[in-house]
Amino acid sequence: MTDADAALSLPLLDFADYRISGTKDILTPALAIYPDIVDSNIRFSLDLLNNDPSRWRPHIKTAKLQYTIRRYVEFGVGQFKCSTSLELLTACRAGASDVLIAYPLVGANARRVREIASDFQQTSISALVETAEQIEAWSGSAVGLFIDVNPGMDRTGVSQVDREAILNLAGAIVRSGQAFRGLHYYDGHLGKFDLEERRVLAHRGYDRLLELVAALEKAGLVVQEVITAGTPAFPCTLSYDGFIKASFVHRASPGTVIYTDCTSLAQLPGDWAYRPAAVVVSAVVSRPAPGRVTCDAGHKTVSADAGSPTCAVIGRPDLVPAKPSEEHLPIDQVHEGSDPQIGELLYLVPRHVCPTINNFDHAILVRDGRVVGVEVVTARGREAPLASKEL
């Protein structure tokens, strides 16, 4: 199966669970979030984690809405990862108890996080470092530090095979007076492998990770927490026995599962109970050629960062989205089915939901087929570039 095929492989979703009645006042394209499915996805994640909310540190780049982050908190999940100061601010305001900025911060970005940490002293805030020079940015603050370990993704972090560099960096953190919180290990690159090969590769990496922890502890450096696994490696982390009775707190960090998308449905075990909780409601605006319609959900609406097709149509396996332009999404009818009519609404599950959420300012909340509210996509984009300055 190709990546494109996988992106179109939806389970047999019940269209009735997504259809919205009284749609004449909805401006399309619209982001629709289904709170009951959000709650179901949270419950299932907690089931996988033996109903222990402290084992989950979800990345909120997916959730984005303060509304959704509060749902996490109400289920007992208080610790999160994020990438931007706006996501951090949103998490703190939603009641988070512990937030890691899982992104390299320099200059004004680091200073802004220090400001937020000072304003929200009830929230434990941490940052990543990969060199001793980066420690200085946090000197004198309450911000704790995790070492970013590169598992072979080669995006950020210290190579997992460079034990000496990691030992030296942990020692430098402790000597600086900042709190050494532990190790961050994001193995998202393993999503390209099938599940069994992914498991083998992930467990091999986790073995090396435990060797690092043992070396740190032998050097007298206490590892409080180890963070692994976004959504693709989540099953692998759950099946790794070395994390069960470890000397440290182990937390998994899948975030996409809160809403779920075509890619995560293809990557995760088929019998897992995740369902899409965020869809794009789009209207058919043209029938430019036989066997083709166009709807108003181009790549400024449904993210194209993961490739084309960008989405799948709930209840319509006969419809396959083609390459989008900015505001237009052509869709081909690949086998017999009813012809979509101009004005008809299609319900699209994104191939990659995280940046798709970031394309919207607002989301409608849908329960039992009715719109029950509108929520701001609170952490969309970034803070003003001179947030702490007056011009």
Confidence of residue 169 (pLDDT cuts 50, 70, 90): very high
Domain 57-253 belongs to what architecture? Alpha-Beta Barrel (3.20)
Q: What is the DSSP string of 102-170?
A: -S---HHHHHHHHHHHHH-TTSEEEEEESSGGGGGGGTTSS-EEEEEEE-S--SSSEETT-HHHHHHHH
Domain 3-32+271-376 belongs to what architecture? Beta Barrel (2.40)
Whole-angstrom CA distances from 251 to 217, 225, 227, 381 are: 19, 7, 5, 27
pTM: 0.94
pLDDT of residue 7: 41
Share of the chain above pLDDT 90, in %: 92
| pLDDT single digits (tens) 112-128 | 999 999 999 999 999 99
CA 258 to chain centre: 8
| pLDDT single digits (tens) 2-16 | 444 444 567 778 899
pLDDT of residue 387: 57
pLDDT of residue 391: 47
Lowest mean pLDDT among 31-45, 174-188, 375-389: 375-389
pLDDT of residue 379: 98
| pLDDT single digits (tens) 268-321 | 999 999 999 999 999 999 999 999 999 999 999 999 999 999 999 999 999 999
Share of the chain above pLDDT 70, in %: 96
pLDDT of residue 9: 62
pLDDT of residue 334: 86
* Residues of each domain in the chain carrying CATH 2.40.37.20: 3-32+271-376
Confidence check: pLDDT of 202 > 50:
yes
The mean pLDDT value of the chain amounts to 94
pLDDT of residue 1: 36
Confidence of residue 388 (pLDDT cuts 50, 70, 90): low
Joined tokens for residue 316: 């319509």
* Residues of each domain in the chain carrying CATH 3.20.20.10: 57-253
| pLDDT single digits (tens) 325-375 | 999 999 999 887 788 999 999 999 999 999 999 999 999 999 999 999 999
Confidence check: pLDDT of 262 > 60:
yes
pLDDT of residue 4: 43
How far the first Cα of the chain sits from its last, in Å, is 55
| pLDDT single digits (tens) 72-122 | 999 999 999 999 999 999 999 999 999 999 999 999 999 999 999 999 999
Residue 247 DSSP code: S
CB 225 within 8 A of CB 207: no
Q: What is the DSSP string of 287-353?
A: EEETTEEEES--TTTS--TT-SS-EEETT-TTEEE----SS-EEEEE-SS-PPPPTT-EEEEEESSH
Confidence check: pLDDT of 142 > 60:
yes
Confidence of residue 389 (pLDDT cuts 50, 70, 90): low
pLDDT of residue 8: 53
CB count, 10 Å around CB of 212?
Answer: 23
